[in-house]
Amino acid sequence: MAFLPIVLLLLTVAHHARSQDATNEVTPRGCGIGFKEPYILLCDMDAMWGIAVEALAAAGTLVSIIIVLVLLGRLSHISEAEKRSGVGPILLLLLGVLGLFGLSFAYLITQDQILCLVRRALWGLFFAVCFSCLLVQGIRLRRLGQEHRSPGGCTLTGLALGLSAVQGIIAAEWLLLTVLREGQDACQYTPMDFALACSYVLTLLLAAMTAAAIALCGKTRQWRRNAVWLLVSCGLSVLLWVTWVGFYLYANAWLNKAPAWNDPTLAFALVTQGWLLIIFHAIPESKNCLIPPPQPSAPNYFDTSQNSTRRRGTSFDEDIPLSHRQFVENQGYGYSDENTAGLRSSGGASQHNSNTAARPSAPFRSNVYQPTEMTMILNGGAVSTSSQSQVPSAPPTYTGRQLW
């Protein structure tokens, strides 16, 4: 810690010496002497759109990384197969969103031949990855709503990668035909050509929107909320694409801002699309995957409202299992004559001499069935005597006075 002030002092002296030796170059407001072309848009206060894009992209990158880490950390706790199948497309979507945020920084740097190739090749590819994930999520929700099962997460992720590879092939062929074969400069292309090269991406988006609308009509209400979030994400994405394509093709030229506003239009389209996917799809889907399944609750036998309704609307015979009901019907509920005589004799003796009267033995008391209100109701209000012989009877118990 003692070396920290010394290091700061040396850095200050070096910066002062460098500023004295530097030539009188005009630097943008907000940028230091070290910032020159082509990185002045990262700090130019006169061109605030570059700082805004930089801040939004940095914040979106941080949020995406946090969601990815949370999903990977809690992946072992997701036990339901239906929820686990959606983790793979979400992770792939977040990787595509990170690509969108990273590509936005390419529009903050003055373009050259290599940078223009990167822009043209990766623009449609990252959008295709994101919209392919939306499409497979719509297919997954449709299967869950109709058939209560879903393809595996690896299958859905592979399908999304396959759909994204088509856009990669289209972008590679476009670059080969325009740059290598015709010898055209990579930075010299018309906005219409760029928009037409992204037609497959727009097709994926419309297909994802259709799949989300179909999934919304599923039989199971459990997944309708996910379908609603997916439909909202696709709808807002369609509005965004209509907006930036309209500005890029017509509005900038109509406002006489065509060359200057092309890069800001594309940069804001990237960061806005990334944030739309995070807010309206990645966060709700991740939350749904991380919610633990509901635990089965035990019936509350002390709920008087349920018991009163049950007494009014149902009979007691319906609540007794068939095996128990047959057991009750086959048993005898009564006292045998011998046991009754024993009780009477025991009761009479206890009236004469309470000190010397003997209580019935334990086997006798255990073999005598004492009917309750429930058994009386189930037996039709009368005690059945059809199977009294089935109840074993104990020998009568005599007191000492009776023996004499």
Q: How many residues does this entry show for the chain?
A: 404
CATH code, 195:
1.20.1070.10
Sign of CA dihedral 339, 341, 347, 353: negative
- Is there a domain that residue 334 lies in? yes
Check residue 336 and give its pLDDT: 47
Of residues 107 and 2, more confidence is placed in: 107
Check residue 109 and give its pLDDT: 86
**Structure tokens of 170?**
């289209």
Does 88 share its domain with 150? yes
Provide mean pLDDT across the span 241-251: 92
Tell me the one-letter amino acid at 164: S
Provide mean pLDDT across the span 133-150: 88
Tell me the one-letter amino acid at 294: P
Whether the per-residue pLDDT at 37 is higher than 80: the answer is no
Does 84 share its domain with 182? yes
Check residue 175 and give its pLDDT: 85
Whether the per-residue pLDDT at 378 is higher than 90: the answer is no
- Is there a domain that residue 21 lies in? no
- Is there a domain that residue 29 lies in? no
Whole-prediction pTM:
0.67
Helix H or strand E segment including 240? helix 224-246
Whether the per-residue pLDDT at 347 is higher than 50: the answer is no
Does 159 share its domain with 261? yes
Whether the per-residue pLDDT at 21 is higher than 60: the answer is no
The pLDDT confidence band at residue 389, using thresholds 50, 70 and 90, is: very low
Residue-range definition of the domain harbouring residue 339: 316-351+359-403
Whether the per-residue pLDDT at 279 is higher than 90: the answer is yes
Whether the per-residue pLDDT at 313 is higher than 50: the answer is no
In angstroms, the CA 338 to CA 214 distance is 77
- Is there a domain that residue 20 lies in? no
Does 285 share its domain with 365? no
- Is there a domain that residue 9 lies in? no
At 173-189, the pLDDT tens digits run 888 888 877 777 878 88
- How many domains does one find in the chain? 2
At 195-217, the pLDDT tens digits run 888 899 999 999 999 999 998 88
Computed over every residue of the chain, the mean pLDDT equals 75
Provide mean pLDDT across the span 140-156: 86
Tell me the one-letter amino acid at 154: C
